[in-house]
Structure formats: structure tokens, C-alpha cells
Amino acid sequence: SRTQGLYEYSNLADVATFYSKTSLTVYNLFEKPKDFIREGDEKLTLEQALSRHQFKKVYLMIGINEMGTGTPESFFEAYARAVYKIRELQPDAIIFVQGIMRVAGQKNASDPVFNNTNINIRNVEIETLANGKDVFYIDVNEAVCDENGNLYADWTFDQIHLKAKYYQVWENFLMEHGIVKK
């Protein structure tokens, strides 16, 4: 849903292809055809879409929905498989694995699952996938978090998702970290 927000509230849809949807997880990323991935009337799987269209860059932001499922280790195994699958389907692309965006302080302090400690544990694992050659780790948290490492409270309506106007901050961060407008 966060990436879906980036699609809906930034200017990136004009220069990028989005394969995103609310509630998508790393566990169901490559399962069955998706309503939101289409060619004409045909629904495609993510694998089919990535096989048919080659990209120069692929940005992956996924992980908040998985916080209550499995362990950090099982999450990382599924995430790594997804990155390897994307690499297989996009052999010439630069892959940017994005750190999971943290939550606001109130959520962090009150939720035993959706908190920044759990997010940071997963982000450390995600970062290990970067090789500095064709897979890079980027972390939008440096642009959207306060001095305590929490998502700015006034930038979110539910302690997890950005308000519409703050997706521009994420867009700007991505523009400074690898996206070039045409």
C-alpha cells in the first residue's frame, strides 16, 4: 500500500512502471495472475510481466505487511528468493532494494509487531543483498524519519502510511538515488 501511495500521489507514474497493490507481500509476489498487472484484457503474473518487459532499474519496497508473519529469517529467505527471481527475469537491470519504511513513534511504542525494532531487524537483512554492483540498498528512512528514527508523526494519518503530500519526499529521495527523468 505504501508503494501504491507512491504511484497515486507522486509524479513517478509518468516515468515508471508500477507493479503494486495494497496488501501485496513478498510471500504472494509471484503467485497467480494479478488484477493490477495487465496487458490488454489479460491478467499477468509478476513473473510474466517481468519476462515480457525489460527494465533498466527495478525498485523493490515490500515488507511492512509481513511483520506479523513468520520470523525475520523466514521473511529474509522469501525476500532473497524474490530478489534472485527478479535478477533472473531482469538480468540487465540494476535492482534497488529499499529498506522498509519505519512507523511513527506512537505506533513504535505501542505495537509489539509493527515497530521500528522489528523493521530495523528486517532492514539489516535486506541490506545484505546489496552487492554494490547491480543490487543496491537504499533507505528512504533517512528522508522521512525524525531524529529518533521514527516516521514523522505529522506526516502520517495512521502511524504507518504517508499523507498524500509527503509522497513527494519519497519521490525526491528516489530521484536523488538513481532515477533519472526522461
pLDDT score for 179: 53
Residue 125 pLDDT class (50, 70, 90 cuts): very high
pLDDT score for 21: 87
Output the pTM of the full model.
0.93
- Counting residues of the chain whose pLDDT is more than 90, the rounded percentage is 86
Query: Is pLDDT at 181 greater than 60 in this prediction?
Result: no
Q: What is the per-residue pLDDT across 40-95, written as a single tens digit (0 to 9) for each?
A: 999 999 999 999 999 999 999 999 999 989 899 999 999 999 999 999 999 999 99
Mean pLDDT of the chain: 94
CB distance 54 to 16 below 8 Å: no
